[in-house]
Chains A and B, each alone.
Chain A
């Protein structure tokens, strides 16, 4: 084996963005049958929705079209409210390129009904976050909402 580059320190490893190998295509995704309605509710009504599987007793958030457990088609849509609890969290100190963040960022997995929304947590510092704390979604103003998960600007402690 021959080495073209040798690095023995992780901190010296670089991201690799060779321009000549850039992919010439990108992706344009669909939100899907359930996603269309879920993100429509976020955008138009600032409402978080889930779908309920009555035989499995599970409310999926974000809403899904089918239950993965029993394969029922789900059409019972519920407004699950804008509050949840911190299921787990992390505090990010470095950016994706390895540089230090000016302020650490708290990323929380927020339990809403039987589902999870991963989102930013603002309004408290890293030392104040606890698993199980109650948090609330903060929506962007209607004019700024586009039908994206970022229509929820962030979560904040209740």
Chain B
């Protein structure tokens, strides 16, 4: 338990992915089975111990601590589990094995839980109490995604991440077979129905790179602005996975219902009303849900636009060339209300493609996909097979408003920037960016922030409205959560516009007019 508590602290305070991964790899190397597997399950959200509620914990602590003292403390600390961990009277130095604790929580009936939890809290020290409470309530909040945790297992065992992702949904905590494999043992056999298969990814391209290729070798499709998914139907078991292998089935029952034929399909998940594809923002309302209401299903109906088939009935098609898979895909029985084919674009030359890309005719198209007709379906991002040629990003000229210091290699540099546009006489913030600039530009911006600070709020500085930056972004939508009423996707600082006075930066009105309708 002590080592697990230490891991959570390391993860919570490491600002960067590389640091988090390093701590995880060290943990997997140092801790035996089954403890490390339970820790992994806690991080990936696969440890189903959801019986402990905040109200149960509040009642427990009320028996030990004066209510007013607790309220004052909670107010100061701001996190329930942390407050209880710190305030719980006594402080044992117990170090029970993590598996013992997890199995106890899993096996205890709800009525007996408060007593079991209190007894554990009595024996543990503050840091272990915190880890224990986070484990019991789910939600570790240490900034580690399931994918990052699996990536750390791959690093630890020098295994291909794609193979771990393919196996993942057939494995259960404490993942002993996975760690055996990571340490040189046999690869686990995939026993689960409807597993995830690693997806094929594309590399960016442009007119210049394409010029070296023969257009006759390629086919092309629109690149739709949805999310990449894999739909699996396997002997009655149906699943929808994100491209990193997260199971998102629960949020999309409408799509699952439309799967009837045993197959593994690759396509774009969209919100589609009749023939009209809705902007990404509409799809976002459907994402990240555990359940979905009938009302939302009706107002935001999800659909698949498929472009590849990996498995058709008993046949694994991944070794076939793209054109042969495409023929199999076109022959599949699909429910046209929810699943349709991504049409192929007609072209003879790259100039034809460039013209299509310039005028796609639908605002939810974000470019073209160009695929080699002979390519097998390959896991990962392998060069030379699939290319994406995205539309040019949207650009605005904005004024720097606030800056915050960065972490790690950017310690001491102001590297996170909030920028705004003019709304009458005032600037209104429209986005934040912390990449896109070169090292030299970062130094220039840092120097500007230091010499033009007008106010300080903790690590944040307000700066004089003088610096204009060109901001590039991929999408723009209405948002009631932002003061400007706008939300940008992937904003980054494209270049510094020292040639432009701040008064000539864009206005909110101009930016609003860029929202796709």
**Co-assembled chains A and B:** no
